[in-house]
Amino acid sequence: MKPKQAAVVLIAHGSRLEAANEEVRRLAVRLAERLGQTVIPAFLELASPSIPEGIDQALNGNPSEIKVLPYFLTQGRHVQEDIPKLLADKARAYPETPIRLLNYLGAEEAIVDCLAETARR
């Protein structure tokens, strides 16, 4: 029997421009290929699936845990308040599966390397 694997839910804000939402979906596919595990895109607002729906999709795969990765550059209200509240609600509903909030993108030191490399071009 194959051991359980973590699932990743990649959270973006969501946009009225469907092309922007599709870009996040494509990023999730590329990230899944890189990680070799399930990555589900989810959106805070304006697009589907919502964050709760994304968590439900991840739970359907019976993961060992759910890692929630905020695709945000700054720690605004959504990162500080909205996302943690949504995750806390899901964690209470599904206590058997850990749901872990990872750092938002802008908090990672590697973002400086990425920006520097882009600026050198």
Confidence of residue 2 (pLDDT cuts 50, 70, 90): low
Q: Which of 94, 70, 90 is nearest to 80 (CA)?
A: 70
Q: What is the pLDDT of residues 38-88, one digit of tens each?
A: 999 999 999 999 999 999 999 999 999 999 999 999 999 999 999 999 999
Residue 3: what pLDDT? Answer: 73
CA distance 29 to 111: 20
For the whole model, what pTM was predicted?
0.93
Residue 11: what pLDDT? Answer: 98
Residue 75: what pLDDT? Answer: 92
Q: Which of 94, 113, 93 is nearest to 105 (CA)?
A: 113
Mean pLDDT of the chain: 95
Q: What are the extents of the domains in the chain? A: 7-120
Pick the CATH number of 7-120 from 3.30.2270.10, 3.40.250.10, 3.90.1300.10, 3.40.50.1400: 3.40.50.1400
